[in-house]
Structure 1
Amino acid sequence: MAAPRKKTPLLHALPPALPALGSLALLAALPAQAQAPLDPGEAPDAIPTVTVEGQREAPLIGHDPEGEGLRDYRVTHTSTGAKMDVDDKEVPQAIVTLPQRLLEEQQATTINDAFRNVAGAQATQSALQGAQWPILRGFETRNFYKDGMRDDAFDRSPWLGNVERIEVLKGPASVLYGDGNPGGAINVVSKKPLQETTVTGSLWGGTGAEVGGSGDLSARLTDDGRALMRLIADADRKDAFVDHFDTYSRHLSGQFQAQPGDRTTVTVASEYRMRHQNGNDFGLPAYALGSGLSRSTSYDADWSERRDIGLNLSSRVTHALDDTWKISSGLLLNQYSFSQELTSTSYTSADMAANRVRRTPNKTDSLTREVLSDTNLEGRFKVMGLSNQVLGGVEYAYGVVERDVYGGTVTTTSLFTPDTSFAKPSWTHTWDQTFTTQRVGTYAQDLIEVLPGLKLMGGLRYDAVRRESDDEVQPTSTARNATTIDHAFSKRLGLSYEAWPGVTFYGGWSRSFVPPGTSVSVGTLPQADPEMGEQLESGIKLDIGEAFTATAAFYHLTRENVRTTNSVTGITSITGEQRSRGVELDATWKITPEWNMLIAYAYTDAVVTKDDTYETWSRLPNVPTHSGRLWSMYTFSEGPAAGISLGGGLTYVGERAANLKRNVQYSMPGYTTVDLAAAYQPTERVRLSLNANNILDKRYYIGSGTWQTTDTPMINVGEPMSVIGRVQITF
């Protein structure tokens, strides 16, 4: 396939002032003279050391071998909910963490795999598509972050081979991260270098002729442990259950951490991701789900293929100015390209009557370049006897997408006996676009201890987002040639009260915003106000005996300024509104030191409350009223079975709507799947594991993906029973 025509170097595409901004951010984080307290009569509180299991100090750099989420599922301290050193119980929103132990036990390789364990999270597309944007609290969420930095350049599923854990902040997160969907924010945390030099190799194989291998090298570069590095690489190929579809992927990541001084840490990391697929999976027509179609049916052309390549480079410098103040500065460079030649599948009412499916050829060459910086200052002090922990920061992002799109003649094929051998069309250039986005945001946050155990958290952020679209193929199109600037204030206010040790009640209010359109489109009515999200949430957070942790949340979340078109006048306005409310429970339980359990349940009521296009009070697509997950694993610690782990899980997803209701609304039946897992670890250095998913071979449907707004949705089919085995050896 042809590569993208435009190959502007990343640094040449940046605003002239940006390199200077990046330099200033890094210089600001270099060691500085400690500042004296403002009030010499009352010394401020010191920033608390991150601790787990009592008062043990965690290492400043590198992997913490005693860290949370390694021996059980319990995680009580993350950075995603507040961007500063506070316990999750002090954040007035629900936070869920998928720890390393859980991901490894389940051999999770995709976001769809991982998010089965989060209450209220639902997949919308097959993992074969690559792009996986889960629904959180009723709304699709594309707010992905890598180690706290926005990562929306690579629209495939994150690589989980170098992931330590996944942190999920539920509900609006704009007060910390800027524009984003109201359902929540997803932070993927990278594995850090180990404290000692080790080499780990893994081989795996499974259903669909899947075969792969990985290598993991950690090195202690200095005797005192002040410089560490880690390299992780893997490769995998698989024949999918869908006809004429196979994938091949390669990944490589490296991370270097150093502690040049007692108060300073430096992290530099890079990651390469490549995924090649032959074929495509747009699913099956909703009207034919009960017609006996095989779940392996594909309507895509034999010549279809797609290749995605992502590369990033990041750095972060953190410096403690004294015992009460510290500054942190991060920089991220992203480059992502994809080239594809494939057919998208759809149908009309005429196609339904004739049992036909419509295929639209598409060829796309795309190149995305992005740079982001985030610098913040955190400190602690007292005012009128009240302890304050504050955070203030500045964030800047600049991105360019260059995309060429070509089309071909639309054809149809039989619903039941598709012909996939048709010739590649003559391509017509339909789109030659450059899309530029600039973001500037400033934020502030304060956590105040009002009374012992009672804490008030407030946050405020101001963002300006400038987007510019330019299309050389259609230079007169106002939709493809436009400049917009969106401004918004995002807020959060909430209370937490630890009534008894390990029992915390909380309540909060938060808002979010997102400009209309996509990463390559300013959308409909771009000059009108952006979409706004608003949430009220209350609940209880438990951490009992360092064994049982749980968050039970009640929430009411609205999405306003949704673009809607009147079916009679054809006029588009921003009067659309949608609402989601529900109850969620996320819990982990260390029943014994050898036995761990995860429980997740959600009741979600998500509907259209106001719209000129879709029926009021109709359900939002891909959102079940009831859903849940149970997972448990037991490890024998003594006797002849010592080292053996046995477990499994149940996933329940209720009936869902497949599309927004305009004339007709299709539904997808509910389902329950069963998974099993086994592992054997005869020594600390050898581990054998075997996982079988959907062991009852249940036919189920994942979601309707990008077809949610049509009367003719396509539905992605879930994977049949699959098995994967792994051998891991550490030297």
Structure 2
Amino acid sequence: MKHGRFLSSAVGALAFSVSLSGMAETVRHFDQPAQPLGKALTEFADQTGTKLLFPAQLVEGLTAPALHGHYTDTEALQRLLAESPLTYATDGTGGTLTLIRAEKRMAALDEQAVQLAPIMVKEEALAEDEVHGYAVTRAMSATKTDTPIMDTPVSIQVVPRAVMQDQQTTRLKDALENVSGVRPQTSLGRGHGFLIRGFKNQRVFRNGLVAGGISVGEAPEFDTANLQSVEVLKGPAAILFGRIEPGGMINVVTKRPEDTSRYSLEQRFGSYDFYRTEWDATGAITEDRSWRYRFAGAYQNNESFRDFNFNDRILVQPSVTWRPSDATEMTLDVEALYQEYQADRGLFAIGDRPAPIPISRSFIDPDDPVDTLSRVNLGFTLTHAFNETWTLRNRFLASFNEDSNLSVKPANAFTVQQFLDPGTGNRTYLRNIFSQAAESETYTTNLDLTGNLELWGTKHQTLVGFDFLRSTGTYLTRGDFINPVPGLEIDIYNPVYGIDRSFYANALATPFPAGSSHSYFRDEWYGVYFQDHITLWDTLHILGGGRYDWATTGRGRGDSFRAAEADLPSRKDEGFSPRVGILYQPWYWLSVYGNWTTSFGANNTITNSGATVDPEIGEQFEAGVKTELFDQRLTATLAYYHLTKENILTRDFSSPDPFAVAPIGEARSQGIELDVSGQITDELSLIGSYAFTDARITKDNDGRQGNRMNNVPEHAGSLWLKYDIQRYEPLNGLSFGAGVFVAGQREGDDANTFVLPGYVRLDAFAAYRYRLSDANLIAQFNIRNLLDKTYYESTDPFQSAPPRVGIYPGAPLTAMGSIRLEF
């Protein structure tokens, strides 16, 4: 390495003199902290051998962002200069680079002939290093276009990969604790049911398409090992995504292949015999980088604070991208998850509170057979830019899901009749055994055409599209889940475990309900939609569009799947869902917006009398402000909304049929939400939220009018802070942080017969990054529920039991350590 420095008495110029060879071609690993720009450029010149000239005054007071990862020399220099008003010019021979102010560069270009750049296809998801810490400035879910959040007149929040890594999140449920207005609502102890703005949401989208069945079971389980980010679009999203709950949608964005090589291997270990191995590898396959790959996944095995509960899971996701030209890109990925677990029925209420028994106590059985869950997602994306104006994008997703579980459960579980024997002083828990098995196949696709136009002085980002979904599934139930089984009762205060295997055999040999234990589902819907995002004077944004849906739903029941399919009724519905929004940006750092939108959701079940139910209709009015502070590194959204939904279904407890439903009529949710994420300084990052939610039943035929909706706290919030030490040499590489998660008192069911007490949970972490040759070794330690508080997360959403016998407690103090190698 050759370099020299000189000081000119006239300008105080500082120069670094080395050869320029390989400036735009060599890919190397960089590992620089955020620091003064002059020092960062010195290190860059020393490492790359670049001859770089600039006067010292030019960089005085400027800083460079952290630079970690594999880049070409050109990419690395551009990233170092990204937050400064500087660029560079060559001396004409390519031998020397000189830093200049960007406006001088633009003036020079104006004197040259304009040459059109090649048409380039943009990635749908940002690469990991393009997200600066916790700050995310763009999202796809709100408009299906690459639009800045500050220009979008709807509320959308993003949890980036960096947050999930710092919090050591392994499940989607835990990642969403950082978003206002989102609450978990689990069933069987699995964390994939949610409430958004007060309304139940059992579906999760994957890269913009529905993942898992529509009618069968719940939303699929998601591990975070292959997730790049999680996006939450608040309010009705039917215009772009079809049949969806009005509270909002959850869209997980998976990791995509990248053209620069990076690898990571992590081992985690923690409380309750927790062991997890996580890996990620990506890079170019060919020299021209037209073929790229990624292979991410995790293996996890753990016990639980709940008796007899465990989880044994493996996730793998290989993916490949082919880019035959700058205008065309295709990605194929396969995601496979297999899980063995123990279905957990949770705790129960006595009076108006959870029962006063240890949260570790379970009333299943240690000899309960192992339950299994498997999921395979096959995804494909094609993007082609016809020219600088029009781009076509096609997505396809095939989902295959299987779930089989058998468990000991409270008797009368679907009718909220007495499950404690009053003859024993309400200390004997009456039980039976229930088995269920569900399978589903879902195929969904869409075709989007987007255009960027300029008409009569206005800018238009136009979208027209079509999507289609077809889902079929089967559901089998066995075991008498209504009546107590003699011999299975247990003392809630002094339980004695151990069930004779004959009880399980009898349950599996008993189809129940007799004659209708087999169900067959079929859903088919498609829609066409349009949207135009109009920009006037670069400050006024108008968003308008609509969608028309055609939906066919049906469910048949019988003593076999063939009989159930032959008995399949069919209901057809169609409807129009509009959306309009307006946003005004008086300054680059402030946006004021409002929107009105509706949703259409075809109900896919029947009442106790066998009648089908009219579609669910949602409507929302929303207004808010958005801001970007601290050099646009911190984003915040404050929103007020008023949301209604008609024809909401819950279980019909007046019927012995566990599948009978009845519409509540109408519910209303209104409130205020605040979300903040990003960086205050290069060292201090945060993500926080607050929600005031007033969610009530407004029309009802069963005496619940005016009641609060279940599991929705009036006040809830979170704040997670992280501090990176970057400017104190002895401690560089050390980071630490803490988070607080708060929820107020919640009603446990729609009848408001009991409440879950409010709680405050404190989490903390510390990590140290050590430079090891061309790699980074990161040691991290997390504690969840640092103060070891007892709290309850949610109740069952009538999926497998009434809420009174399906209360799920949060975990006590839990520690986790990890070692991660990145290279």
- Per the normalisation by structure 2, the TM-score is 0.77
Out of 84, 89, 109, the position equivalent to 2:145 is 84
What's the offset of the Cα at 1:477?
9.1
* CA deviation vs aligned residue, 1:451-491 (integer Å, no higher than 9, x gap): 44111111211111112323231899999742111212111
1:532 aligns with 2:617: yes
What residue in structure 2 maps to residue 429 of structure 1? 511
What residue in structure 1 maps to residue 669 of structure 2? 580
What's the offset of the Cα at 1:358?
3.2
Report which structure shows greater RCO (CA 8 Å, sep ≥6). Answer: 1
Out of 164, 167, 172, the position equivalent to 1:106 is 167
What's the offset of the Cα at 1:234?
1.6
What residue in structure 1 maps to residue 287 of structure 2? 223
Cα–Cα, structure 1 residues 590 and 573, in superposed 2: closer, same or farther, change >3 Å?
closer
Aligned residue for 2:293, secondary structure, equals strand
For 1:537-686, what aligned pairs fall within 5 Å after superposition? 537-544=622-629, 545-563=631-649, 576-637=665-726, 638-661=728-751, 665-683=753-771, 685-686=776-777
Moved more, 171-180 or 59-68: 59-68
Distance in 2 of aligned mates of 1:295 and 1:575: 32
1:703 aligns with 2:794: yes
Distance in 2 of aligned mates of 1:711 and 1:205: 33
1:410 aligns with 2:484: yes
Moved more, 447-456 or 639-648: 447-456
Which residue identity is paired with 1:459?
Answer: G
Aligned residue for 1:429, secondary structure, equals coil
Cα–Cα, structure 1 residues 527 and 303, in superposed 2: closer, same or farther, change >3 Å?
closer
Cα–Cα, structure 1 residues 290 and 579, in superposed 2: closer, same or farther, change >3 Å?
closer
Moved more, 710-719 or 578-587: 710-719
For 1:88-487, what aligned pairs fall within 5 Å after superposition? 88-125=149-186, 129-153=189-213, 155-287=219-351, 289=353, 292-301=356-365, 302-345=367-410, 346=413, 348-349=417-418, 351=420, 353=422, 354-408=426-480, 410-411=484-485, 412-423=489-500, 424-425=503-504, 426=506, 427-430=509-512, 431-473=517-559, 481-487=568-574
Give the alignment's Cα RMSD to 1 decimal. 3.0
Please say if residues 349 and 754 of structure 2, whose CA atoms lie closer than 8 Å, have aligned partners that are also in contact.
no
Distance in 2 of aligned mates of 1:600 and 1:255: 34
* CA deviation vs aligned residue, 1:370-392 (integer Å, no higher than 9, x gap): 11111110112244443221101
Which residue identity is paired with 1:723?
Answer: A
Cα–Cα, structure 1 residues 574 and 236, in superposed 2: closer, same or farther, change >3 Å?
closer
Cα–Cα, structure 1 residues 281 and 224, in superposed 2: closer, same or farther, change >3 Å?
same
* CA deviation vs aligned residue, 1:177-228 (integer Å, no higher than 9, x gap): 0011111111101112233333321111000011121222223111122211
Cα–Cα, structure 1 residues 204 and 523, in superposed 2: closer, same or farther, change >3 Å?
farther
Moved more, 348-357 or 457-466: 348-357
What residue in structure 1 maps to residue 53 of structure 2? none
What's the offset of the Cα at 1:89?
2.3
Aligned residue for 2:797, secondary structure, equals helix
What's the offset of the Cα at 1:706?
2.2
What residue in structure 2 maps to residue 28 of structure 1? none
Please say if residues 63 and 194 of structure 1, whose CA atoms lie closer than 8 Å, have aligned partners that are also in contact.
no
Aligned residue for 2:163, secondary structure, equals helix
Asked which structure has the greater CA Rg, the reply is 2
How many corresponding residue pairs?
A: 675
What's the offset of the Cα at 1:527?
3.7
Distance in 1 of aligned mates of 2:556 and 2:526: 21
Moved more, 146-155 or 475-484: 475-484
* CA deviation vs aligned residue, 1:317-366 (integer Å, no higher than 9, x gap): 11001110010111111111122221333463462632233323222232
Moved more, 210-219 or 99-108: 210-219
Please say if residues 467 and 522 of structure 1, whose CA atoms lie closer than 8 Å, have aligned partners that are also in contact.
no
Distance in 2 of aligned mates of 1:307 and 1:333: 20
Aligned residue for 2:570, secondary structure, equals strand
Please say if residues 567 and 612 of structure 1, whose CA atoms lie closer than 8 Å, have aligned partners that are also in contact.
no
What residue in structure 1 maps to residue 582 of structure 2? 495
What residue in structure 1 maps to residue 600 of structure 2? 513
Which residue identity is paired with 2:615?
Answer: P
Which residue identity is paired with 1:201?
Answer: L
Cα–Cα, structure 1 residues 526 and 229, in superposed 2: closer, same or farther, change >3 Å?
farther
1:687 aligns with 2:778: yes
Distance in 1 of aligned mates of 2:534 and 2:193: 35
What's the offset of the Cα at 1:605?
0.6
Please say if residues 171 and 191 of structure 2, whose CA atoms lie closer than 8 Å, have aligned partners that are also in contact.
no
Distance in 2 of aligned mates of 1:390 and 1:63: 20
Which residue identity is paired with 1:706?
Answer: P
* CA deviation vs aligned residue, 1:28-83 (integer Å, no higher than 9, x gap): xxxxxxxxxxxxxxxxxxxxxxxx969999984598557443x4211111100000
Distance in 1 of aligned mates of 2:570 and 2:798: 28
Distance in 1 of aligned mates of 2:664 and 2:757: 31
